[in-house]
A and B are shown apart, each in its own frame.
Chain A
């Protein structure tokens, strides 16, 4: 039998789209990758929450990777995440810094008193402007920073098992270099 082989071309498209849809299924589009990854940390200088000092991007500039967590007392997932941050802070050679995002200072202090303070330093971003510079849109968000560059960004609360699965591998890998 003779066939018009052009008529079979749609089948290739169908297979192609089938494969595409299949992989799209397991691809989570709701979490955006940050364009900041690999780039220099934007400069900022904000007051500190627990002292009269200042917190700035230079504080995070060392060769040892550090963690910056953006949080607020009104944010429920931040409460959920807090034990994981405490665990991280208690590990050797890991510094965790905090940026208190659009919060009331007293409420923020109460939050820390109640649940413990994992942060080496806490900056206050009352207007949310530093947050916008960092591309923050849904707190909690967590950055890993080394040499003033953003290595990794985690959106949403860090679960305890994600410390082992995601955070520590990156930290260990960077420390070896």
Chain B
């Protein structure tokens, strides 16, 4: 199973500025490693992760924005690949239910107590 005779890709990024490199790292932390369940590609050195890192570096070099790179990845692999859920029709409940629960609780506690003030 061990892939000994691998073709190895060096992660050369000499032509990247520090700001670009930071952007790259922040993006790596947002992209899920598909083969290692739960890790981001930043944390993983699986081959697949290294490939994706290279693709992202290349796209940064080409001057693409973070949003463009993310939507490229989503188009290929689905929402799953991005660590932070987007804010759209699919996720309104995810973001709003805790808020509703919080507001309900505040109302609940205040309504029980307010008559005693």
Cβ < 8 Å to A, chain B residues 18-42: 34-35
Bound form: Cα–Cα A132–B58 in Å: 13
Contact partners of B12 in chain A: CB under 8 A: none
Contact partners of B51 in chain A: CB under 8 A: 127-129, 131-132
Size of the chain B interface, CB-CB below 8 angstroms: 18
The answer to whether residues A138 and B35 also contact, given A102-B7, A104-B5 and a CB cut-off of 8 A, is: yes
Q: Which residue of chain A has its CB nearest to the CB of B48? A: A137
| Inter-chain contact B1/A76, CB cutoff 8 Å | yes
Contact partners of A132 in chain B: CB under 8 A: 51-52, 55, 76
The answer to whether residues A74 and B3 also contact, given A128-B51, A129-B55, A137-B34 and a CB cut-off of 8 A, is: yes
Q: List 19 A–B pairs whose Cβ atoms lie within 8 Å, in order of A's numbering.
A: A32-B77, A32-B78, A32-B80, A35-B75, A35-B77, A35-B78, A74-B3, A74-B5, A102-B7, A104-B5, A104-B7, A107-B5, A126-B7, A127-B9, A128-B47, A128-B51, A129-B51, A132-B76, A135-B77
Binding site for B on A (CB under 8 A): 32-36, 74, 76, 102, 104, 107, 126-129, 131-135, 137-138
Binding site for A on B (CB under 8 A): 1, 3, 5, 7, 9, 34-35, 47-48, 51-52, 55, 74-78, 80
Q: Known pairs A32-B80, A137-B48, A138-B34; list 9 more (Cβ under 8 Å).
A: A32-B78, A35-B75, A35-B77, A74-B3, A74-B5, A104-B7, A126-B7, A129-B55, A132-B76
